Structure 1
Amino acid sequence: MPVLPPPALPIDAVLPDLVAALAARGMAVVQAPPGAGKTTRVPLAMLASGLCPGRIVMLEPRRLAARAAAERMAETLGEPVGQTVGYRIRGEAKVSKATRIEVVTEGILTRMLQTDPGLEGIGAIVFDEFHERSLNADLGLALVLEVRGALRDDLHLVVMSATLDAAPVAALMGDAPMITSAGRAFPVETRWLPRPLEARARFDQALAALVVQAVEECPEGGVLVFLPGEGEIRRVEALLKGLKGCDIRPLFGAMEFAAQRAALAPAAPGLRKVVLATSIAETSLTIPDIRVVVDGGRARRARFDAPSGMARLVTERVTRAEAEQRRGRAGRVAEGVCYRLWSKGEEGGLAAFPPPEIAAGDLTGLALELAVWGSADLPFLTPPHPGVLGEAQTLLTGLEALKDGRITDHGRQIAALPLHPRLAHMLIRAGGGIEAATLAALLAERDPLRDAAADLALRMAAVKDPGRVEREGRAVHRGTVERIRAEAKRLARAVPEAPRGLSLGQMASLAYPDRVGLRRKGEAPRWVLSGGKGAAMAAGQPLSGARLLVATDLDGDLREATIRQAVALTEAELRAVHGDQIVWRDICEWSKREGRVVARRQECFGACVLDDRHWTDAPPEALARAALDGLRLIGLTPSPAARRLMVRAALCRRDGADLPDVSEPALLAGEALLPYLTAKRTEADLRGLDLVEPIRSALGWEGVQMLDRLAPPHFETPLGRRVPIDYDGETPGIEVRLQELFGVTVHPTVGPKRLPLKITLLSPGGKPVQVTADLPGFWTNSYADVRRDMRGRYPRHPWPEDPREADPTMRAKPRGT
């Protein structure tokens, strides 16, 4: 059993508490700042305790960190890596039958769990650097918690973090004990810019200048410079070339391991080490002799990139937690100084913590793993968003990985490959082989041709023969090419070879069936993509005239994306690969642009219309429905008669009558108009539609009878004359000559609530003399005054003293009487 070295690191003080917690509960959360020693001491302490029969598997977020942790623990034991302590990462493993501690990258654990949910031979799982909240770490913890609860209550579990609030993790683990270790840090002075960088300032030049300032102002110790990625590192490296007394050393994840180790090694005598590193150096690695940190204030994170359809690395501002971790690197061995490429005033605008990848990343891989597992109901620290997860499941269904929500055999094959499901599907369906494997590796890597034309074929040529492409005047990133080649060899070995002889465009279409683009009409290079979105390309590019292409990379424009990378595709090639997805559709719809009903038969691949013909025998109902859609756009134009019908029906419905709704919104929302639209084709036809008959039909025979009874269109005077009732005002009303109502002693009413009509009484000359809603009251109270006035004006007309007893008339007295 290994013997731990004498206590020399802060974590050593709490190791007994950790062992006791594991003995009592089997789980624990360890919170310790960078430099406390948790990565190397905790697994060794667990091994020494004898609590964990079987292997101890520790997860690291990065390959370099996994290798480095295994080497440091093996060195502590005085053994080579691969004996008691080994590691396993993608494409490389150093383990043996004697291995008791195995350091793995996070995706490895997922594959172990999917292959053997019982984790036979494993006694403990340790999650290191869990605060980084990678998608694989969140998934791994959820899977392990379910396994521990259902199959392996003896499995020991430790989650370690540098900055994460440990309480939520401990609660997720059933209120597991929390073990907190102090760090070992010397004071670090922070120096900010006096003012924010100008908007036009180049990041790499500004950061290089700050490094030079730091070297001049701080003459002792190594300098650790934080940059977002390899491109920025290489540009700053070039700017710092020849910096007196300094050894400039890049450090990023894609480097060869030998070069990474060289960056971690002590500086040569007489030289100061200046390490240009990505966030890989924030927590997981120990870099000796660092006394100065220069923080560029940017970080590269995995985010779901809708334009590419996969996860991409995006550059963002650091969070306060990340900035603090970087700052702490200057105080590991002595007092240090941290330079920040932002002003003190800008610090308040930084987010507190980076979001977990599960909340912002591509969930396609997660959805696939959950389908393989057979359940999405797992104890996640941050549950995946249901809508985003649903979109991922839809994509997987299109890739034949899921059927009716369940994993298919093809989906299991996809899950077994270390690729995005799009690329794994392509590699398998293409029949494997080095050509498909190279394309998969190329699409998974960064672009080996920076600032080149959008043609994917140029990239494949650069991977196959970089020298020839360079002689043609293009700059090839050789390191990227070598990584693509190495990965292609591994992928080719992973898939049984049965190549189908597909073209580059056909293979790309397998990965991106939703990105097949059909050129739009017109001179501009614009395409409609099979997924329904639009895309465009700068004029004059090699592919700008292509009728069909596959867009493998787009920018993020939501209106019309710019194609950054694509490959040509012929229609014959498309039909050969996707023939079963090309279907004829009968389209009968209202064309807003043409202002008419359009009936066509179209052969489609998604939203791409490959063939378009007139649909000469479209059924009348389909034509009517398209016309109704047009009517809904332009609105109804009811005639006065139709308008009166609508108003009468609305009055009765308002007062409780059981009548159908024949208002304009109801007519447009329903189907009552359909029988009257079968012959309507144009906007002019629709505007000329007579609505009286459709409204009466919608009301039905009984409804029309009820409407005529409750809200009749006319009032019949005692003389039998029909006077139209005006329903447009607040109160229905009529206009009628006063003498015509002689003898009427009951006021006329309308509607279910018997509303009194507003009667405008007219003089024999047709001028209003009185408005009343109470005719008997008018006869009693006001008529005498009106009679006095009217007798003088109209002496030949009758003005009886008691109009209630008089006969109605519209005649004047004969002359001389």
Structure 2
Amino acid sequence: MNRSASPPPSFPIDELLPRIRDSLAAHPRLVLEAPPGAGKTTQVPPALLDAPWLAGQRIVMLEPRRVAARAAATFMAGQRGEPVGETVGYRIRFENKVSARTRIEVVTEGILTRMIQDDPMLEGIGALLFDEFHERHLAADLGLALALDVQAGLREDLRIVVMSATLDGERLANFLDAPRLSSAGRAFPVEVAHFPARRDEALEAQTRRAVEHALAAHPGDVLVFLPGQREIARVEAALGQALPAPAPAVLTLHGELPVEQQSQVLQPDPQGRRRVVLATNVAESSVTLPGVRVVIDSGLAREPRYDPNSGFARLDVVHVAQSSADQRAGRAGRIADGWAYRLWPQSQRLEPQRRPEIAQVELAGLALELAAWGNVALPFVDAPPPGALAAARDLLQRLGAVDGAVINAFGKRMLALGTHPRLAAMLLAPRGDDEKALACDLAALVEARDPLRSRSDALAERWQALAAFRRGRVSADASRSGLAALDQAARQWRRRLRVDTAPADSVPAHALGDLLLHAFPDRIARQHPSDPFRYQLANGRSAKLFDDSALYGEPWLVISELRDDPRDARVLRAAPLDEARLRRDFPQRFTSEDRVVWDAGARRIAAQRESRFDRIVLDTRALAKPDPSRFADALVDAVHQLGLDALPWTEPLSQWRARVRCLRAWLGELDGLPDLSDAALLASLDRWLKPALAGKTRLDALDEGAFSEALKSGMEWSLRQRIDALAPTRISVPSGLERRIEYGFDDHADDGRGAPMPPVLAVKLQELFGLADTPRIADGRVPLTLHLLSPGGKPLQITQDLRGFWDRTYPEVKKEMKGRYPRHPWPEDPWSATATHRAKPRGT
């Protein structure tokens, strides 16, 4: 270490450092819990540098935020008396401060993912540290899953440390099968109070009053948590000249600030003034602001949420979780007793923990990373929702990024851009420099909030406002700051893509849509032939224009924003496109197919040639000579639409089906019995029914015998005989005759799973004289339900206990029935009487 390094300050985590080193020597994973101020971010990495298991390799620490990454690296380097980029460095987007001598690299989330994807062996890296994991960013979850996969398959020696301030450490330790260590923090008591808003008071006015109160009532600096830059600017303007003399320094802190301004916020005021720091949640953890005694918390943050209108995750203002609110309040107790003022009602309840991003954002980027990695079964702390992941993979197919589940060359180029796959596909589509510059404008436009105050649905109006802004003109319905942000974002894209061509002043009407279709291939839309306000989308859905739409009359659109609605989806933002360009860029998605389908209205087969773009039907024409081999498919579709009742069921076949279903429930160990439920039969129509429909043009051409054999297809003859033995259709009774057994299955019983109904034997009472016990089937497991009938065939008793009937009920039945049916036997002793189905001979 450089001799000029200052003696390191002490931190609460210092006494835990030997245990951390020892734990990692014995186990390759560790969960470290440490509250803000404990020193985990800046003290743990240097403490591991000389560990024998590290063997001179590098340590890479993930920081979720750029401000924190720079601050942590700068602090650790300063402790060693070195500039950043020597032993300690950092890498963030568009900035690299590392050298060949660097052994501790602090990186942001996207950087870590690229490092692992580019070099799965992680050559020269001995430890990965995931700091502030409780923030549960999608990129951190992916990075940890990739790291665990590398450790399990390639690098058993790799150490993984997950560090957090507010997290369910026990759950995480169980998931990682890792030891768990906890550090004390450095905190003083903080008095928490709620600072009520006045009626209809804006956030900036309430915040200004809270700041004025804090400066008057308490010592020290004031840290104000606000959701984003927009709110910071408004509060900064509201403070203005209202602050008391001597006026404190008002500073801002967010991720987009230049390094110099960030460094200024992280140091005491050089003139000794009190400070008011207006910060986003970047100040929640990782960075330490000196001198703060008061925290004012809006209780809000901007976090990514999936926006189904745009198809992107966008930053929305949301209420923070209780864990974040507690962490923010704790910032006031770092150096002495503190105070925290919350700008929401005390009655308002917050969610206890922050929800992981993976559960609430669009997953196309994650799906592309998984396709590049080649293993979709990664160990995620919280698995991605299957529905969202399936939708993301479908989008990648449409974008042309994958072949099946495997990333292709175009997908790898998209991944290298490090942006959302939709934007990456569009940015790679242009052929010339003019189109590339326009694509950069579009990338800025679709990511940003609307710069216009009007409700127009034409994306072209936004681009025209941007072009006018560059010429020094801003229309009355446009936001100057919004257009300036758009212009800056487009400039960054041009610089990133090495586009030297200046943006155009004007473009043809279809130019925007001709590029945008590469970002939204699922939302390419064609005007409905019978309704000019309605459009058919490539993904099979439909959407409608507003009555005053600026896009009315356009035959083709690409929709960048769509309000989904069960009744009627609405086009919020779109641009027209040129069909010739669509055919040139996506020729493989234009198809022509001969189809034989079931016409439900006419209840017959219809044969037609259908031209389509993706799932948009462009043209349909009747076929004069359809292929007969395809009729069976259409008839199977008919059964899907009409249901199984459309097939020629007979009573014996319905009973056979009920017998099989009952036996599956009664004798679960009996192998080979098929599932004959409605759902199973409909799901397997292609297997059992389609062969029987070959050569037929109508459903009613399927006769009962062929249908019966189709239903029983695949069953061995021995199994069919076994069914007849276990669940017979008839049974011999003491009278010498055979009587029918009726089977039934209740599909709604047992919570909707279905259950067998008791099998019924309906028989005249006289035919059972001398039989003591109720007959049984299914290897004696199931008693028959006896419907004991009078000589006239009317039910006298329903029972499964024949012995009990003879003992207790028969005398009463005999007494009542003997006079009504005098020609039939009613013996005193039914046990020894001869069973008969006949009346007594005349005269007896």
Please tell me whether Structure 1 or Structure 2 has the larger radius of gyration of its CA atoms.
1
Pairing 1:352–2:355 present: no
Alignment match of 1:68 (pick from 49, 57, 71):
71
| Alignment partner, residue 554 of structure 1 | 562
Counterpart mapping for 1:265-344 below 5 A? 266=268, 272-344=274-346
Tell me what 1:223 maps to.
222
Contact 1:227-1:277 at 8 Å conserved across structures:
yes
2:516 aligned residue: 508
Does 2:617 correspond to 1:609?
Answer: yes
| Paired position in structure 1 for 2:496 | 491
Deviation at 1:563, TM superposition (A): 3.1
Answer yes or no: is 1:412 the counterpart of 2:412.
Answer: yes
Secondary structure at 1:601's aligned position in 2?
Answer: strand
Aligned residue in 1 for 2:91: 88
Residue 698 to residue 381, structure 1, CA distance change in 2 (3 Å): closer
Q: Cα distance, 1:230 vs. partner? A: 3.0
Q: How does 1:784-799 map to 2 (within 5 A)?
A: none
Superposition TM-score, scaled by structure 2 size? 0.71
Match of 2:363 in 1: 363
Question: Secondary structure, in 3 states, of the residue corresponding to 1:564?
Answer: strand
The count of corresponding residues between Structure 1 and Structure 2 is 707
Cα deviation 1:703-734 (Å, max 9, x = unaligned): 9xxxxxxx9xxxxxxxxxxxxxxxxxx9999x
| Counterpart amino acid of residue 17 in structure 2 | L
Shift of 1:102: 1.9
For residues 3-152 of structure 1, the aligned pairs below 5 Å read: 5-25=7-27, 27-47=29-49, 53-152=56-155
The aligned amino acid for 1:370 is: L
CA displacement at 1:324 relative to structure 2: 0.7
**What is the match of residue 536 of structure 1?**
544
- Which residue is equivalent to 2:553? 545
Q: In the superposition, relative to structure 1, how do residues 365 and 646 fare at CA in structure 2: closer, same or farther (>3 Å)?
A: same
1:214–1:611 CA distance, 2 compared to 1 (3 A): farther
Secondary structure, counterpart of 1:553 in structure 2: strand
SS of 1:344 mapped into structure 2 = coil
Q: CA deviation at 1:528?
A: 2.4
Retained in 2: the 8 A contact 1:60–1:129? Answer: yes
Match of 2:581?
A: 573
Give per-residue Cα distances to partners, 1:102-154, cap 9 Å, x unaligned: 21112112211222222223343222112212222222223333334444444
Flag the 1:597–1:74 CA change in 2: closer, same or farther, 3 A. Answer: same
Describe the shift of the 1:479–1:631 C-alpha distance in structure 2 as closer, same or farther (beyond 3 A).
same
Equivalent position SS for 1:13: helix
1:480 aligned residue: 485
Offset at residue 581 of structure 1 (A) = 0.6
Kindly indicate whether residue 397 of structure 2 is the aligned counterpart of residue 397 of structure 1. yes
Paired residues of 1:621 and 1:674 also in contact (CA < 8 A): no
Preserved contact between residue 440 and residue 488 of structure 1 (Cα < 8 Å): no
**1:308 and 1:564 mapped to 2: Cα distance?**
9
Q: Which amino acid aligns with 2:57?
A: G
**Aligned counterparts of 2:334 and 2:587: Cα–Cα separation in 1:** 63
What is the letter of the counterpart of residue 382 of structure 1?
Answer: D
Residues 61 and 112 of structure 1: is their aligned pair in 2 closer, same or farther, counting only changes over 3 Å? same
* Unaligned stretches of 5+ residues in structure 1: 496-500, 657-661, 681-688, 704-710, 712-729, 734-752, 762-776, 785-800, 805-817
The equivalences for 1:637-676 within 5 A come to none
Equivalent pair of 2:212/2:243 in contact (CA under 8 Å) = no
Once residues 633 and 543 of structure 2 are traced to their aligned partners in structure 1, the CA distance between those partners, rounded to angstroms, is 31
Structure-2 separation of matches of 1:432 and 1:73: 46
SS in 1 for 2:389: helix
Amino acid at match of 2:192: T
Query: How far off is 1:420 after superposition?
Result: 1.6
Secondary structure, aligned partner of 2:383: coil
Per-residue deviation, 1:34:
1.0
Q: Counterparts of 1:617 and 1:503 in 2: how far apart (Å)? A: 43
SS at match of 1:510: coil
Where does the alignment leave 5 or more consecutive residues of structure 2 unmatched? 501-507, 661-675, 713-728, 730-759, 764-783, 794-816, 825-839
Greater alpha carbon shift after TM alignment, 19-28 vs 62-71: 19-28
Q: Which amino acid in 2 is paired with 1:314?
A: D
Change (3 A) 1:189 1:522: farther
Matched to 1:505, the amino acid is G
For 1:636 and 1:36, how far apart are their aligned partners in 2?
A: 68
Structure 1 position 256, deviation (Å)? 4.0
Contact preservation (8 Å) 1:601, 1:615: yes
CA distance in 2, matches of 1:530, 1:634: 28
Contact preservation (8 Å) 2:596, 2:626? yes
Is the Cα contact below 8 Å between 1:91 and 1:490 reproduced in 2? no
TM-score normalized by the length of structure 1 = 0.73
Asked if the contact 2:395–2:522 (Cα under 8 Å) also holds between the matched residues in 1, the reply is: no
Residue aligned with 2:15, SS? helix
List per-residue Cα deviations over 1:634-653 (Å, max 9, x = no partner).
79999xxx99x956876798
What residue identity is the alignment partner of 2:380?
F
The equivalent of 1:788 in structure 2 is none
Q: Does structure 2 retain, via aligned residues, the 8 Å contact 1:424–1:440?
A: no
Aligned-residue offset at 1:624: 8.8
Distance 1:165 1:652, change over 3 A: closer
Sequence identity, in percent? 41
Whole-Å Cα distance in 2 between the matches of residues 161 and 274 of structure 1?
A: 27
What CA distance in whole angstroms lies between the structure 2 residues aligned with 1:590 and 1:469? 61
Quick one: which amino acid aligns to residue 227 of structure 2?
A: P
Q: Deviations over 1:46-73 (max 9, x none)?
A: 3366855133222110112112222222
